Amino acid sequence: MTMSQSRSRMASGTAKPQEPVQNATTAASPKRAPLSNIRRFSLRKFCPRRPDPPRPFKHVLLKHFSWSFPGVTTEYPVLCLGPSLSILIIDRCVKGFISPMEEKDNPRLYRVRHSMAHVLAQAVQTKYPTAKLGFGPPIEHGFYYDFDFSGTAFQETDLKEIEKIMRKIIGQGQEFKRLDCDHQAALDTVKKHRNEPYKIENINNLAGRGEKNFSFYTNGTFLDVCEGPHVENTRELQSAAFKLDRVAGAYWLGDEKRPMLTRIYALCFEKQPELDEFLKRRKMAEEFDHKKLGKELDLFEFEDLVGKGLPLWLPNGTVIRNEIQKFAEEMEFKYGYKRVATPNIAKQDLYLKSQHLPAYEESMFPPMIVKDEDGSEATRFFLKPMNCPHHHLIYASRMRSYRDLPLRLAEYGTCYRYEQSGELSGLIRVRCMSMNDAHIYLRLDQFEEEFRNLMKMYQEFYDTFKLSSYRFRLSVRGKENAHKFKGDAAMWDKGEALLAKVLNDIGVNYYVGEGEAAFYGPKVDIQFRNLMGREETVSTIQVDFLSPLNFDLKYTEAGGAEGVPVIIHRAPLSTHERFISYLIEYYGGAFPTWASPLQVNLIPVNQDCEAFCKKIAEELHQSFVRVEVDTSDNSFNKKIRNSTVRKNPMTLIVGNKEMEENRVTIRRYGIEKQETMTVPEFKAMLHEEITGRKMLREPMSALI
């Protein structure tokens, strides 16, 4: 399990900053493969095809930083390019950066969003003549533009008026015209048109990196430094298909020492129904946000006294954790895993040996320095950032025979990683996590069969949780930052070829993610979409030829010679924190009966029925069913409503008739039809549903 597994990632080869949910923004990372490529499919129905060729991304992610003011938190990635790479653009209006939306993803929509960004800038300067322009790129769901309103009282309430000006500009049918010139002419053009210090600075920066050719686009009286492309005329833009969305802050050039600009975000699509659908889905995503539901359903908390990114699991959330872990442990027992347990701290020497410390020290908690009792020597300990090195030592604790392989060691190990404050987000990005981790030590000739078994196991997990929309990424080393990938080229060639071969042999439809490999080897990441269509890595399978060398792992072959095992790192259910955050949003907080904090809620119609309800509850409790009886003073309708708000999977209604006939009336969450059955029939049905881990309705998000 790599440290990158805990990070939210896109399908691209670049880690994407966590997308905040509301009143917050992130400058989107470049995408390697469009989300439109995602298909619903089962592991049982693979569509074989050759992998997409790796796509080079020639940028360096320098750092992330974040800032906030009332109601707004934002993160911004800083990208740096060499002189020969200035053709790459952040918004096609300013050379030198990579676009958050690539033109090839949807050329027509790219032109629309790019042109709308110019219309926004023109409208803002119409209302605020002294406003200065920053950058304005198309992004995943629309576009934005950065402005310096220094000396002007900009109000977010002015967005409606700016929208009206934009629609007026669209109706004027202004033509987009291009002008090409050299460096000096570009400076003269900007200075002649109006005072735009940020544009002038950017032109000079690009010239300093070797850029010689510059271009401008005009529409009406508006002019901007711009690479294009655009629509030909503003009448091609749909005035009902955009919406100014929100306002956030962004430092100029991503430098906190530079001026804070005002960023206006807009949603933009080709047609109004697409905008309406997006707004509908976003509203649902906000309602299903795991941070919101986690609070409402009493699942987890964060407390300043404990520390940022260190969740406190409340009783309800702990039930979900325990049930998922129990399921995982039963599945691993079925597939031949042996459980181990390892300490939460280890000496520095262990992580130096594994090469984790040189690669990830900046993401680890600072060391604890412990002196010997006589004070003669100090030992440095680190909180465990991963389980792998500990498991390797367990393997190495005795000589292994070829008959012992594959040896599968599993642990729900607690790990600690010092994520930056601006990167923390609910349970998705935390500093303390419990991993569904395992390491498989095997001979090379056993690899394909073991990989097939892993696919079978993963499918069983996905079927049980009703997960269906995912795709596979073969994550390989990248040309950029080549130093972070340890080991020689031959080892990497072998590992990448091995994974590609087995994926092709079993017919998995996948794409290549260059630069997404772990530092010790390539991997297969299973990418899931959230409600807004963004991809996250939930499961992973990694091949490792490096660690056996670092730890001198051996086994005795049939002829008595020593062999070196291959290691598979696998994590089908990620960490408790990441996986449960995904399930909360996927289920809309309504977990299946087997994993629900409260499985059965009994509601007596009147006081005469309370004793009967308590008797049923006691019998269910003896069978290890999580059950309650609502004996509160609330009205009957209020009790029903409370049970629904708590998203209880089963609410049993007991009135005089049910009591006389030894029956219960069952209301299931998300299912309109009620059913009545005898108490013994209900117990048998409930037992079968829980032990079989059945989910009798579709997840809430899957219905959208």
pLDDT in tens, 335-361: 999 999 999 999 999 999 998 888 778
Banded model confidence at residue 270, pLDDT cuts 50, 70, 90: very high
Q: Is the pLDDT of residue 15 over 60?
A: no
Which pLDDT score, from 0 to 100, does residue 569 have?
93
Using pLDDT thresholds of 50, 70 and 90, give the confidence band for residue 301: very high
Summarised one tens digit per residue, pLDDT across range 558-614 is: 999 999 999 999 999 999 999 999 999 999 999 999 999 999 999 999 999 999 999
Specify the pLDDT at position 372. Answer: 80
Tell me the C-alpha distance between 384 and 346, whole Å: 7
Identify which has the larger pLDDT, 50 or 301.
301
Q: To the nearest whole percent, how much of the chain has pLDDT over 90?
A: 62
| Average pLDDT, integer, range 95-108 | 59
Whether the ω angle into residue 406 lies within 30 degrees of 0, i.e. cis, is yes
Write out the E strands in 168-315: 177-182, 213-219, 222-225, 242-251, 260-268, 300-301, 312-313
Question: Would you state the pLDDT for residue 157?
Answer: 86
Determine the pLDDT at residue 534: 75
Asked whether residue 267 carries a pLDDT value surpassing 70, the answer given is yes
Give the residue from 252, 238, 24, 262 showing the smallest Cα distance to 119: 238
If you average pLDDT over residues 185-195, what whole number do you get?
A: 90
- The amino acid at residue 211 is E
The pLDDT value given to residue 238: 94
> E strand or H helix at 380, and its extent?
strand 378-383
Model pLDDT for residues 516-533, shown as the tens digit of each residue:
777 777 888 888 887 776
What pLDDT sits at residue 255? 87
389 is written with which tokens? Answer: 């090195």
Quote the Cα angle for 26-19-135, to 5°: 15
pLDDT(175) > 70: yes
Give CA–CA dist 216/28, Å, rounded. Answer: 24
Q: Is the separation of the CB atoms in 697 and 668 below 8 Å?
A: yes
- Looking at mean pLDDT, say which of 49-53, 54-58, 185-189 comes out highest: 185-189
Tell me what pLDDT residue 483 has.
Answer: 67
Q: How confident is the model at residue 498, as a pLDDT? A: 84
pLDDT mean over 296-325: 97
| The pLDDT value given to residue 482 | 66
- How do residues 457-473 score in pLDDT, each as one tens digit? 999 999 999 988 788 88
Nearest 10 degrees: Cα torsion 96, 101, 104, 105: 160
* Contacts for 592 with CB less than 8 Å, ≥ 6 apart: 649, 693, 694, 695, 696
**pLDDT classification of 37: cutoffs 50, 70, 90:** very low
pLDDT of residue 91: 32
Confidence at residue 421, expressed as pLDDT on a 0 to 100 scale:
84
Q: What is the pLDDT of residues 442-455, one digit of tens each?
A: 999 999 899 999 99
**Is residue 703 very low, low, confident or very high in pLDDT (cuts 50, 70, 90)?**
low
End-to-end alpha carbon distance in the chain? 33
Q: 272-290 pLDDT, tens per residue?
A: 999 998 998 888 889 999 9
Residue 403 has what pLDDT?
96
pLDDT for 517 equals 78
pLDDT for the residue numbered 684: 97
632 band by pLDDT with thresholds 50, 70 and 90: very high
The pLDDT of residue 702 is: 66
Q: Average model confidence (pLDDT) for the chain?
A: 83
Comparing 55-59, 138-142, 354-358, 371-375, the range with the smallest average pLDDT is: 55-59
Q: Write out the DSSP string of 322-368.
A: HHHHHHHHHHHHHTT-EE----SEEEHHHHHHTTHHHHHGGGSPPPE
The stretch 365-384 carries a mean pLDDT of 87
Segment 190-209 shows an average pLDDT of 91
Average pLDDT over residues 377-385: 91
Interatomic CA distance for residues 544 and 524, integer angstroms: 12
| Residue of higher predicted confidence among 298 and 94 | 298
Angle between helices 159-171 and 107-127 (to 10 degrees): 120
Across 383-388, average pLDDT: 94
In order of their start, the domains of the chain are 78-287 (3.30.980.10), 293-344+385-586 (3.30.930.10), 593-703 (3.40.50.800)
Q: Among 14-28, 162-176, 212-226, 307-321, which stretch is predicted with the lowest mean pLDDT?
A: 14-28
Concatenating the DSSP letter of every residue in 628-678 gives EE--SSS-HHHHHHHHHHTT-SEEEEE-HHHHHHTEEEEEETT----EEEE
